[in-house]
Every structure is written in structure tokens, then in C-alpha cells.
Amino acid sequence: MSARPPFDRHGPERPASPVVLSVPHAGRDYPLALRAALRVPAIDLMPLEDRHADTLALAARGIETMFSASRPRAWIDLNRAEHERDPRIDEGAEPVPDAAQSLKLRSGLGLIPRRAGGADLWRRRFAAEEVRARIEQDHRPYHAALANALAAARARFGVAVLIDVHSMPPLASGAARLVIGDRFGRSSAARFVARIEAVAHAARVRSAINTPYAGGHVLERHANPARNIHAIQLEFDRSLYLDRRRDQPGPGLEATAALLRAILDAVADEALPLANAAQ
């Protein structure tokens, strides 16, 4: 196991902004135990990554508190609930009929992903203790830290808004290059989504809402609009900020970071009436 912590935190313990950033799928620290269990080359795991989404978020970040996973999604998916365990590869998973499983779990994208790019990933099933250790050492600490930051932001400003940053492969020609997810209105007040849409429109970046990505466990777990804790997922087309190989930051990084920065400013501005009233 790498000695590196399971996530990186940027910004103060007491958030200086009502906006909190999360990047759960950008981890590139592949533990030896993971690499030893693979039946495919390690490079085949790259499609699971939101490649350099953390680099994008850091380039855009100002005073916001931000969390980014260092462990890769292939090790444990922070955007899946603890119970979304795949019995095909996890000896501790409860047997669940296929019809009762989530679409993601049926397709091999559970808490421990089983497939990537159409290929099965693992030589063996994982012992219940192995998966339990990943939950306790990686999954729970990330979500506890995120929950604490959101609670602190709400206590200070009267409102907190989580922006969960992801990336997606390019969609069909002419389709959206930024997908805004609010779980079909369940995870955020509409005014925040409207402000994000307006920023994308001003930047001439085509956007869509909830199609094909509406948000996953991070939003489901942390959003509570009734208590003024809102959560929105942003999926950026990787071609916006990566090179042609979709491997390293490319020439579009600066412009895409400026777009994300404008989104963060707009969301904070939308939150300001409540934030000012709380101070």
C-alpha cells in the first residue's frame, strides 16, 4: 500500500467560501496490491479515471476548500455507495438479483469496478476483509472530510454548495461539452444550475442538464437542499483540457480552468445573499 494519504485537501479547515470542490475520480496513485491483481495492463485502467480533473480544478481554484482523491477509481469508487458491492469479484458482497442491482453495478461499475473498456480487470475475487479495509481507509475518510467541510461552510455562510468535478469522453458530434447534474432537481436549488448554464452559454460551451450524467453517490449522500446544502456535478469533455492522446493537460487547460473559475464565481455570487445574512 502506498504511504500517500487517500485524498488531498486544499484550503482552510474552516472554509473561506460557501463553495466546496470535490474531485473523486482523478486519483493516479495505483497501489502495488492493485497492480498485482490485474489481468490486463495497467494502462487499461485509464478509462476509469477522470484524467487530470484534479489539475483542472486546482488551476481554477481560488479560496475554495477542495478535496481530490489520490487513490484511483479502480481501487475504490468514491462515487458509489458502500453497499454497491459486486458479488462477481467481492466475496463480502451480499448476493443481489441482477434485476435489483443498479445499472452501474450490473455494468461492472460498482464500488470496486469489475470492468473497464469492455474488459474484465481482475485475476481473482477480493476477500471481504480487503474490500472492508478500502472502505474504512479510503471511502469513509473522504466522505467524512467532505461532510465536515460542507457543514462548516453552511454554519459560517448559511449555505454550502458542493461542486463535484468529473470528466467525460467526448459525446456525439454537436452534443454537450459540459453536463450539469443535479439528480433531476433533487440535489440543488434550480437557481445555481441556471447560473452555471448562463456561464457556459456566455463561454459558448454547449451544455446539458442531467443527460447523460445526473450525478452519483457524492450528490446523493451530501446534498440536502432543505438545509441549504446543495450539490452539483460537472462533467467536462476531456477534449476541452487534455492533449490529443487524452493523457496529459493540453492547450485547452487554461480556457477550461477559466470556465470553471467563472462557474465557481457565479455559484458563490448566487449564494452571497444567504452568506451575507449569516455573517
CATH of the domain at 120: 3.40.630.40
Element (H, E) at 165: strand 160-168
Tell me what pLDDT residue 173 has: 80
Integer Cα distance of 173 and 160 in angstroms: 35
Q: How far apart, in whole angstroms, are the C-alpha atoms of residue 162 and residue 19?
A: 6
pLDDT of residue 100: 76
Q: Is residue 20 part of a domain?
A: yes
**So what's the pLDDT on residue 2?**
46
**Spatial CA neighbour of 63 closest among 138, 1, 156:** 156
Which residues, at least 6 apart from 199, have a Cβ–Cβ distance to it below 8 Å?
259, 262, 263, 266
Q: Where in the sequence is the domain holding 178, given as residue range(s)?
A: 7-278
CA 208 to chain centre: 18
C-alpha cell recorded at residue 99 = 434485476
The cell for 10 is 486544499
CA distances from 230 to 69, 139, 188 (A): 21, 21, 5
Domain count, the chain: 1
**Whole-angstrom Cα distance, residue 271 to residue 264?**
11
Angstrom distance (rounded) from CA 278 to CA 102? 40
Residue 1: per-residue pLDDT:
44
Note whether residue 2 is domain-resident: no
Chain position carrying cell 448562463: 198
The answer to the question of residue 172 being in a domain is: yes
User: What are the 10-residue block averages of pLDDT along the chain, 279 residues in total?
Assistant: 78 95 96 95 95 98 98 97 95 85 90 94 97 97 98 97 98 93 98 98 98 97 98 98 96 98 98 65
**Domain for residue 84, yes or no?**
yes
- Residue 201 included in any domain: yes
